[in-house]
Structure 1
Amino acid sequence: MTTIPENAFNDLLENAVTKLVQEKLELLLREEIKNYISNEHQGPRTTLNGNYKRTYQTRYGTINELQVPRDRKGYFQTRLFQPYQRREGWLEEAIIHMYKGGMSTREVAKFVESMFGSQYSPTTVSNITHTVMEDIEQWQKRPLEKRYSVIYLDGLYVKLKRNTVSSEAVYLAMGIDEKGIRQILGFYIGGHESSNGWREVLKDLKNRGATDVLLGVFDGLPGLEEAFREIYPKADVQHCVVHKVRATFPKIRVVDKTEFLDDLKLV
């Protein structure tokens, strides 16, 4: 019995899958143009006029001679891909996910080249991943509800790589609307946490529509309460219980912390 080498078997399997994808795409294209000519086209009468060949990269392999039907007047355009599109959007989606996962544009470019043989420069990757930034900017500028029962403010420190790696504050604002639904209202990155930084965050929340707030909850950062009352003078203020507990712990003897914590939960 002849044994097929593993790499040869993989090639056969890949070619078979690619061929199947090609057959199904061409079937869809033929049905699509028939329906277009019979039902959708509203202009002067047109008829089938053979096919033209093109390459098309899919996640299952490259189709070198995809048969694309055309009509005699040149009206038909398939909805499966754009006229000059040579590849499905899957690779761009993969690049965006890798970028979101923390890989640099140069690392993504090297990975794409090694896996798919595509020559993607870091600049090209940057252009593709720019869509992530556009999505983030749209999300950050989205309108907010007019009224929130509670707005929680908290600053988190994360390590960010700019020219060097250093910890920077992420200003995080979470709200609870009148239906009791929690949602992240916004996050803002920059420098060290300060009351002035929070003042700008609160101004942005109000400018985006959150004009009525019943209660603000945050830690005891100096100047934060004044900044909050400046933007929302009618709201009540409560210091975060978690931060109060954390601030209390250093003042308790180690041997008493367990008992103290149990008593504090009751309070």
Structure 2
Amino acid sequence: MSSSINKSDFTNQLEEIIKSFIQERLEIIMKAELDNYLKVERPNHPNSKNGYYKRSLDTRYGKIEELSVPRDRRGEFQTQLFAPYQRRDGWLEETIIKMYQSGMSTREVGKFIERILGSSYSATTISNITEVAMEDIQAWQQRELHPRYSVLYLDGMYIKLRRDTVANEVIYFAIGVTVEGYRELLGFYIGGQESALGWQEMLQDLYQRGLKEVLLGVFDGLPGLEEAFKSLYPKADVQRCVVHKVRHTLNRVRKKDREEVAEDLKAIYRSFTHSQAEEQFY
């Protein structure tokens, strides 16, 4: 039915939202990069800003079609975020996400900025860009949320994060749908393996930032997650994703009939109204 959530559809929506988030942060860093190139790196060299040009950039979350890259009038500035013709480098977007998780110090963010930009700039430029990034990080993490969301999606996505070694870690994402129907990335938390405790910490953060009422929570059947959600939003309804519903149903079906039943279930869950779904039973 229209309120049922298809897992692949949600994953696509999640990746689009993450991609937009990454694009905005890359553009903030590049703007600060050009500012410091003109004022710190080449202060006595006649030059100025000259708008932006658009380019695409492949990420693990899909292609950013129109990334705004700042330029100078003399054509001498080249962002160090990526090579001129580079189209795919997974560590860049993962580093951006890592910078915006809770608990990152200015020193840690500075190390990330230095890693992203390499050794092309002076310590002053790195420090100035770090300050700009920290202002945006703090504003994003502390921004007040709407008090009421129609739907709150909770999902985990594993990515490789480079520390001393490369290891898979889960990112907990919270996506809210406003009463007007707009989707927002409310927050994310990186840490260890997926667990109810991780979700509880994220839910507490959302609640403290102003999210006091949810009409519908949509998430997988992780043990303890529904209890953590209900402890903060006791009046909300809860819906598990369609994939888990289908799997639970197919476990009760004979193996030889599962493929046919699965196709019938797709028609039910893709219905737009209750009456359309009922018709699929006949």
Under a length normalisation based on structure 1, what TM-score does the superposition of the two structures give? Answer: 0.55
- Cα distance, 1:130–1:241 mapped onto 2, change above 3 Å: farther
Correspondence for 1:260: 261
Q: CA RMSD in A?
A: 3.8
Correspondence for 1:181: 182
Identity among equivalent positions (%) equals 49
Q: Which has the higher contact order (CA 8 A, sep 6+)?
A: 2
SS of 1:56's partner is coil
Q: How far apart are the structure 2 equivalents of 1:169 and 1:57?
A: 45
Correspondence for 2:165: 164
- Cα distance, 1:257–1:204 mapped onto 2, change above 3 Å: same
Correspondence for 1:209: 210
- Cα distance, 1:226–1:257 mapped onto 2, change above 3 Å: same
SS of 2:202's partner is helix
SS of 1:154's partner is strand
Compute the displacement of 1:93 (Å): 8.9
Compute the displacement of 1:197 (Å): 0.9
Cα-to-partner distance string for 1:216-247 (whole Å, 9 max, x where unaligned): 11111010011111111121111121333466
1:147–1:211 CA contact under 8 A, matched in 2 = yes
- The number of equivalent residue pairs is 180
Compute the displacement of 1:262 (Å): 1.2
Correspondence for 1:55: 45
In our comparison, the structure showing a higher alpha carbon Rg is 1
- Cα distance, 1:161–1:254 mapped onto 2, change above 3 Å: farther
Q: How far apart are the structure 2 equivalents of 1:136 and 1:172?
A: 16
Q: How far apart are the structure 2 equivalents of 1:127 and 1:92?
A: 17
1:95–1:129 CA contact under 8 A, matched in 2 = no
Task: List alignment gaps of at least 5 residues for structure 1.
Answer: 1-52, 61-86, 113-118
- Cα distance, 1:145–1:59 mapped onto 2, change above 3 Å: closer
Q: Does 1:240 align with 2:211?
A: no
2:151–2:218 CA contact under 8 A, matched in 1 = yes
1:96–1:132 CA contact under 8 A, matched in 2 = no
Q: How far apart are the structure 2 equivalents of 1:145 and 1:93?
A: 39
- Cα distance, 1:203–1:107 mapped onto 2, change above 3 Å: closer
Correspondence for 1:108: 117
Compute the displacement of 1:196 (Å): 1.1
Under a length normalisation based on structure 2, what TM-score does the superposition of the two structures give? Answer: 0.52
**Which amino acid in 2 is paired with 1:175?**
G
